[in-house]
């Protein structure tokens, strides 16, 4: 009679192998969750910045004015005003009854006023300073006039958690740039 018995060594080996299998399964799970989490935060930040740039583009396309009386005012590198005719019915020949809408970066907030600074809506609370995108040694301003005076360049950077430092995996940031073609509003 040669009954097979499990030795202590075999038992320990079995436990260790089981441990290794469980650990590697957990590692894969953590890695995939980490991956989804980081891509998810990046998409969220990207959506937020692109929404703002579309918001500005849409309103800029409805600016009222012409070469001697442009419908854009670049008050500073963080403040842009756009004049619109909000009258019903519209009074296109008269700019004096029009409304200046405003976009303003204030700290981590990017805000929009539809009525000349009375009411404000916060479009994002994730805004951080722009990096130096064109490599000239200076970070890009939020709003700037192109050298030709024919476009307003809008550059915006948002970070998932603006109070924490940038980390491409856990705290990503996204910079986007758009140009508002001024047409008859050109400053030249």
Binding site residues, Ca ion, CB under 5 A = 85, 91, 94, 97-98, 132, 134, 136, 138
CA 172, CA 2: separation in Å to the nearest integer? Answer: 64
* Sign of the torsion angle spanned by Cα atoms 24, 30, 34, 37: positive
Q: Which residues pair with 156 in a beta bridge?
A: 176
Whether cis (ω within 30° of 0) applies to the bond prior to 89 is yes
Nearer to Ca ion, 2 or 147 (CB): 147
Nearer to Ca ion, 102 or 160 (CB): 102
Q: How far is the CB of 41 from Ca ion (least distance, A)?
A: 26
Query: 């479009």: which residue's tokens?
Result: 123
Q: How far is the CB of 161 from Ca ion (least distance, A)?
A: 24
- CA triplet 169, 46, 164: central angle to 5 degrees? 45
Nearer to Ca ion, 41 or 173 (CB): 173
Nearer to Ca ion, 34 or 138 (CB): 138
Q: How far is the CB of 26 from Ca ion (least distance, A)?
A: 45
> Which single residue brings its beta carbon nearest to Ca ion?
91
Q: How far is the CB of 93 from Ca ion (least distance, A)?
A: 7
The answer to whether 115 and 152 are in contact (CB under 8 A) is: no
E strand or H helix that includes residue 155: strand 151-159
Nearer to Ca ion, 85 or 173 (CB): 85
Q: How far is the CB of 99 from Ca ion (least distance, A)?
A: 9
């Amino acid at each position: 009679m040669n009954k097979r018995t499990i030795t202590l060594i075999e038992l320990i080996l079995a436990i260790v192998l089981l441990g290794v299998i469980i650990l590697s399964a957990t590692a894969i799970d953590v890695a995939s969750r980490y991956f989804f989490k980081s891509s998810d935060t990046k998409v969220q930040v990207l959506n937020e910045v692109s929404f703002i740039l579309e918001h500005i583009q849409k309103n800029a396309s409805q600016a009222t004015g012409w070469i001697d009386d442009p419908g854009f005012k670049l008050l500073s590198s963080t403040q842009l005003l756009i004049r619109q005719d909000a009258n019903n019915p519209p009074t296109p020949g008269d700019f004096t009854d029009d409304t200046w809408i405003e976009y303003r970066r204030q700290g981590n907030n990017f805000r929009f006023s539809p009525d000349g600074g009375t009411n404000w809506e916060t479009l994002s609370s994730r805004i951080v300073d722009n990096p130096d995108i064109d490599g000239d040694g200076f970070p890009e301003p939020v709003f700037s006039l192109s050298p030709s005076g024919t476009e307003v360049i809008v550059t915006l950077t948002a970070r998932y958690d603006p109070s924490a430092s940038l980390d491409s995996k856990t705290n990503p940031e996204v910079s986007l740039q758009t140009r508002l073609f001024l047409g008859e509003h050109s400053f030249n």
